[in-house]
Amino acid sequence: MIRTEELLLNVGPQHPSTHGVFRIIVKLDGEVITEAIPVMGYLHRGTEKLAEDLNFTQIIPYTDRMDYVSAMTNNYVLCHAVETMMGLEIPERAEFMRLIVMELQRVASHLVWWGTYLLDIGAMSPFLYAFRDREIIIDLFNELCGARLTYNYMRVGGVKWDAPEGWLDKVRDFIPYMEKKLDEYNNLVGGNEIFLARIKGIGKYDAQTAIDYGLSGANLRCTGVDWDLRKAEPYSLYNRFEFDVPLGKTGDCYDRYLIRLEELRQSLRILKQALEQMPSSGEVMGKVPRVIRPPAGEVYVRIESPRGEIGCHIVSKGKAEPYRLKFRRPSFVNLQILPKLLVGETMTNLITILGGIDIVVGEVDA
């Protein structure tokens, strides 16, 4: 009689495919996972606690460092929360600038996901193609606010800098270029038999499970639930534009892949409309008191980040610092379904499923 043993394998925190310092302990029977225990917190910096000693303008750079792949949307959710509390008016041009950078950011973020996901699956080249195109957006942001990753661009009441001369034209030129590249990506990867065999039917769950786990973003929409905060609870200027919310049917990794690619196209569509409707001049900073003191009370706002619903809950006692600040981070919430999905899967599918959820560890641990 052969004696077999379960293998306890420690994946991460130093593992090439856990997207940072995420760690997961798996019990393997051969190559099949019988139990998976995620371990989080290697990148915990206590953002929410630190925020209690800072005024709101000082908190903005901290939000950059949560989801560092999509810093603009993080900036926005905090500013939006404070503005909602104080009932501030935002100049139209400022709101347009915010929307343009947020959609550009969504394109950049999905490109990072696309490249790294294929890298996880074993294809090297798409990663470099994706980063070539992301670089253009990063350069645009660099020109706008002097930073490539942590922008600190938005302020309560508007944005810090108006677009430099010619910047909007560069964005305009970028859209057709990116649309062409998306077709190219689709040709390169979309029909690859090995790639399809790797992700079709993997990591499946139904709509009820997704809602029970509080999933959001592409992870929710892949099951067919029509829930995009840009459409469902329009914030900023999203109700002025026409765009579709791509939905999946089966809830597997392939649907998530298709949705994210389609979201890229829709973002470009929004950008195109935004550039047309944007006022050619105007203030980019509203009338804001010198010291930002939201009135005592609570507020919760939520927006659609590339990874899902990012929320900001502020409890204020009428001081310049928040009494309590809480971020609902989509990566953290979406990750909770992972142990359930992994049981019965192989080691290879662990990487496929984890990549498909699209986490950023900075946001998981905050």
Partner 1 sequence: MGAWLDESLTWGNALIFFLWGVILLTIVLGFVTYAIYFERKVIGWMQLRIGPNRVGPLGLLQTVADIFKLLIKEDTIPRKADRVLFILAPALAYVPAFAVLAVIPYTQDLYFADINVGLLYYVALSGISTIAIVIGGWASNNKYALLGGMRSAAQMISYEVPLVISVVGVVMMTGSLNLRLIGEHQGNWFWEWNFLPQIIGFVVFIIAAVSELNRTPFDLPEAESELVAGYHVEYSGFRFAFFMLTEYVYVYAIAALTTVLFLGGWHPPAPFLDFVPGIVWFLLKFSCIVFFLFWLRATMPRIRVDQLMGFGWKVLLPLAILNVFITALYLELFIKG
Determine, following the binding rule CB under 8 A, whether residue 138 of this chain makes contact with partner 1.
no
Determine, following the binding rule CB under 8 A, whether residue 120 of this chain makes contact with partner 1.
yes
Residue whose CB is less far from partner 1, 47 or 116: 116
Determine, following the binding rule CB under 8 A, whether residue 34 of this chain makes contact with partner 1.
no
* Residue whose structure tokens are 């000693």: 53
Q: Which of 21, 121, 222, 364 binds partner 1 (CB under 8 A)?
A: 121
Stretch that binds partner 1, among 126-134, 142-150, 225-233, 317-325 (CB under 8 A): 126-134
Residue whose CB is less far from partner 1, 6 or 206: 6
Stretch that binds partner 1, among 60-68, 104-112, 347-355, 357-365 (CB under 8 A): 347-355
* Residue whose structure tokens are 């394998």: 9
Q: Which of residues 288-327 bind partner 1 (CB under 8 A)?
A: none
Determine, following the binding rule CB under 8 A, whether residue 7 of this chain makes contact with partner 1.
yes
Determine, following the binding rule CB under 8 A, whether residue 2 of this chain makes contact with partner 1.
no
Omega before residue 126 within 30° of 0, cis: no
Pinpoint the alpha helices (H) of 146-252.
167-185, 193-199, 207-212, 218-221, 229-232
Determine, following the binding rule CB under 8 A, whether residue 146 of this chain makes contact with partner 1.
no
Residue whose CB is less far from partner 1, 21 or 85: 21
Give the Cα separation of 251 and 200 in Å (integer).
Answer: 10
Q: Which of residues 153-172 bind partner 1 (CB under 8 A)?
A: none
Residues sharing a CB contact under 8 Å with residue 346, sequence separation 6 or more, in sequence order: 31, 32, 33
Q: Which of residues 186-225 bind partner 1 (CB under 8 A)?
A: 192, 194-195, 197-198
Give the Cα separation of 109 and 34 in Å (integer).
Answer: 33
E strand segments, the chain? 7-11, 23-29, 32-39, 154-155, 158-159, 297-305, 308-316, 324-328
Cα dihedral angle (202, 208, 211, 216), rounded to 10 degrees?
A: 40
Determine, following the binding rule CB under 8 A, whether residue 185 of this chain makes contact with partner 1.
no
Determine, following the binding rule CB under 8 A, whether residue 240 of this chain makes contact with partner 1.
no
Q: Which of 41, 49, 53, 125 binds partner 1 (CB under 8 A)?
A: 125
Alpha carbon distance, N-terminus to C-terminus of the chain: 50
Q: Which of 16, 87, 166, 191 binds partner 1 (CB under 8 A)?
A: 16
User: Minimum distance between the CB of residue 6 and partner 1, rounded to whole angstroms?
Assistant: 11
User: Minimum distance between the CB of residue 350 and partner 1, rounded to whole angstroms?
Assistant: 8
Give the Cα separation of 111 and 50 in Å (integer).
Answer: 31
Residue whose CB is less far from partner 1, 271 or 350: 350
Q: Which of 351, 357, 361, 364 binds partner 1 (CB under 8 A)?
A: 351
Determine, following the binding rule CB under 8 A, whether residue 136 of this chain makes contact with partner 1.
no
Proportion of the chain in helix, strand, coil states, percent, rounded to 5? 50, 15, 35
Stretch that binds partner 1, among 102-110, 149-157, 165-173, 340-348 (CB under 8 A): 340-348
User: Minimum distance between the CB of residue 273 and partner 1, rounded to whole angstroms?
Assistant: 31
Give the Cα separation of 105 and 67 in Å (integer).
Answer: 11
Q: How far, CA to CA in Å, does 236 sit from each of 96, 172, 301, 303?
A: 8, 21, 12, 9
Pinpoint the alpha helices (H) of 3-124.
47-51, 56-64, 71-86, 92-121
Number of residues that bind partner 1 (CB under 8 A): 29
Residues binding partner 1 (CB under 8 A): 7-9, 15-17, 31, 118-125, 128-129, 132, 192, 194-195, 197-198, 346-351
